[in-house]
Structure formats: structure tokens, C-alpha cells
Amino acid sequence: MKFSRSRATLVGTGLLVLVGAGLLFTGARACRHGRSVPQAAVDRAVQDMLAVFRRLMDPSATVTAADIEGLRMPIDQVTGMAIHCQRIPLPADYLMTLDEMVQMGGYAMTHAIIASQWLIENGCVPAATMDERRQRHVDALVRQIEKEEGLLTDRRVEALATLFYIGGGDHARQEWLDFVLQRQLADGQWPGYANQPQTPNAHTTLMALWLLLEARSEGRPSRIPMVAQPARDGAR
């Protein structure tokens, strides 16, 4: 299998799908906890997310600052700002917010680190500024992965995929990848919770596929950014 432009397309498509899957999961969880979530509200939230995150694949996709601020979850607002930082100025305290999220661990940490990488790919922050943070990001991800040693959780798979994405694959142990592969279900999906080892999870499955793509591409000299950039003059 060749990993050229199709690699970036697969990752971008996967993340767009996970945006919708994540929101549907949030709506289902709210119903399980007794909170009524009208389907129309869920559908609207999904469309709002897809509009913002379409920029991953389409350089011409544009939104307004109000569109990003209108996303339901602050964590998505933060990543949305990073995707559109070329056209929409970042808040003055944006990098401080990312640093605080990294210290929180869990999903806040992984999303902040992904957002940091998008800032680099979009050229919105000097490389030296992010280089200062890179080792802290790697260390935080490794701590998260080691914290759940011996468990296959959605959080752990996302942290491992993010570690490879930011170029920290040399800090990953082969047994971590082997463990993920060993937990794949017969239908090709992955479970997301240690206490539900046979129950497939859409988000975890996308994260696992992303992880394997990143691991396969690790160390290649011409690494393709996740965020699509405008084609150069004369490029096809």
C-alpha cells in the first residue's frame, strides 16, 4: 500500500467522520443520563462541526469567528481556532490556554497538542515557539499512555496516535502498537472501554486507524501535513 496524498485524505476524512460520531455519541450519552436531546439539535451541532473542520481537507473552506465560538464544546472551539488561524486571528491568550489544557491531561491534552501541530502546519506561530513546547507535549503524551498501561481505552489510543502525529514516534514502545493490534475485533473495529472489550467504538476505531497510518509513515522525509494547504502555482 502506498501512503502518498491518500494518507492525508484518509486522515482528514477520518477526523471529519469522528466529529460527527463524537457528537452523536454525546447526544446518546445525554439521553442515557436522562437529558432529552432533540435529534434536530444533534443534527445541527454535527453540521456546525463539519463546517468548521472541513478546513482539514479543503483549503478554501471558510467560517467566521462566530461559527467557531458557536461550537458546543470549548475543546472544539480551541481546535477550530487552530484550523482557521490563517484567516481568523488567535486570541492573545491562546497559547496559554493550550499550555493549561496540556497540563489537564486526557482529551484536553491531546486536543491541545493536535491544535499546536495545526498551528505549525498553518504557519500561524513561529516554529521556535512550538519547538519550546514539543518535549513537554511528548512527555505529557507518554505519561498518559503509561498511566493506562495494559488497558485499551479510547483516551490511550488517541494519545498514542497524537504522539506519532507530532513526530514523537521514537518515544513509543513497539509493545504499545502490538497491544492495539491484538485488541482489534473480528469485524475490524476496536473497543473503546476496558470494561467493554467486545463492544466496538467508532471513535476508537478511527483513532486506531490513524495511529497505524502515522506509525507506517514515521520517519519518512516528505511527511504530508494533516491540514490541507492551497496548491502552489502550477501544482496539480
At residue 57, the pLDDT reads 81
> Is residue 5 scored above 90 in pLDDT?
no
Residues 6+ away with beta carbon under 8 Å from 138: 163, 166, 168, 171
Task: Provide the residue ranges of all domains of the chain, joining segments of one domain with +.
Answer: 1-61
> Is residue 56 scored above 60 in pLDDT?
yes
Burial (Cβ within 10 Å: 0-12, 13-18, ≥19) of residue 36: exposed
In terms of pLDDT, which residue wins out, 59 or 16?
Answer: 59
> Is residue 201 scored above 70 in pLDDT?
yes
Work out the pLDDT band at 19, boundaries 50, 70, 90.
low
**Radius of gyration of the CA atoms of the chain, in A:** 18
Q: Give percent of the chain above pLDDT 70.
A: 78
Q: Are 157 and 211 in contact (CB under 8 A)?
A: yes
Q: What is the pLDDT of residues 92-135, one digit of tens each?
A: 999 999 999 999 999 999 999 999 999 999 999 987 888 889 99
> Is residue 86 scored above 70 in pLDDT?
yes
> Is residue 233 scored above 80 in pLDDT?
no
Kindly state the average pLDDT of the residues 156-183. Answer: 94
Angle at 213 between CA 118 and CA 59, to 5 degrees: 35
Average pLDDT, the chain: 82
Q: What is the pLDDT of residues 125-146, one digit of tens each?
A: 987 888 889 999 999 999 999 9
At residue 234, what is the residue type? G
